[in-house]
Amino acid sequence: MIRKGLGKMTNLQFSSPLTLKQDFLGEGIKINSTEYVGKINFRCDPNNSLIFNGIKDITGINLPLKSGEVFGNNDYRIQWLGPNEWILQCADNQRELLINNIKSKLAGEHFSITDVSDYYLTIRLSGVNSNEILSKGTPLDLEKFICNKDMCAQTYIAKATVLIDRLSNEPLYDISVRWSYAEYLWEWLVDSSLEFTK
């Protein structure tokens, strides 16, 4: 990717479509990008107690089994994607360790594990007007599916498929979006927030 003002070539590996974006600040709305987080896609049969307990031993948290549930502690965060699919979030430098731990702990069991950290970028939306802005582009019932802390939902915003994760009871959302859609979604969110600038 060639971009004006990107800086030295040595920085390329740390650049993303959001690298040069300035945080957007409006009245009751803030849009910023977050630091890289390790994202591991994990699939298994949720009724397999050996796997279920294995994940609990490694991360300290259970796999959420209810639709839209998120469990987290200081080191990990597990988002429900489907009845047999989750995203395990960890610190960027812990990815390999986590994958290797799970692979060795659950050796011989039937599961799949994929490092998808580089597929997604995360845009953070916060402030009292967040819901107002989200509802311009998503058909999701925000009052029902992501009304409280630790709830997530996959849906779309404008034309981009996203995973929205609510981090707090105050409006604070982490929106995971495909790398290639990140700039589009960023611009769309900023555009939708313009009415909240002074």
Partner 1 sequence: MFVIRCPYCGERDQTEFTCHGEAHIARPKNPNEVSDKKWGEYLFFRTNPKGYHYERWTHDHGCRRWFNVKRHTVTDKIVQTYKMGESKPEDNSA
* CA dihedral for 191, 195, 197, 198, sign (positive or negative): positive
Residue 64 found at the interface with partner 1 (CB under 8 A): no
User: Based on CB atoms, which residue is closest to partner 1, 61 or 158?
Assistant: 158
**Residues near 106 by Cβ (< 8 Å), separated by ≥ 6?**
50, 51, 54
Distances (CA, A) of 194 to 14, 127, 198: 29, 14, 9
| Of 11, 67, 169, 197, the one binding partner 1 by CB under 8 A | 67
Phi, psi of 88 (to 5 degrees): -100, 120
Residue 135 found at the interface with partner 1 (CB under 8 A): no
**Residue 134 buriedness (CB in 10 A; 0-12 / 13-18 / 19+):** buried
User: Based on CB atoms, which residue is closest to partner 1, 112 or 161?
Assistant: 161
| Of 85, 109, 115, 183, the one binding partner 1 by CB under 8 A | 85
Least distance (Å) from partner 1 to the CB of residue 2? 32
| Of 19, 41, 117, 154, the one binding partner 1 by CB under 8 A | 154
Footprint of partner 1 (CB under 8 A)? 67-68, 81-83, 85, 139-141, 144-145, 153-156, 161
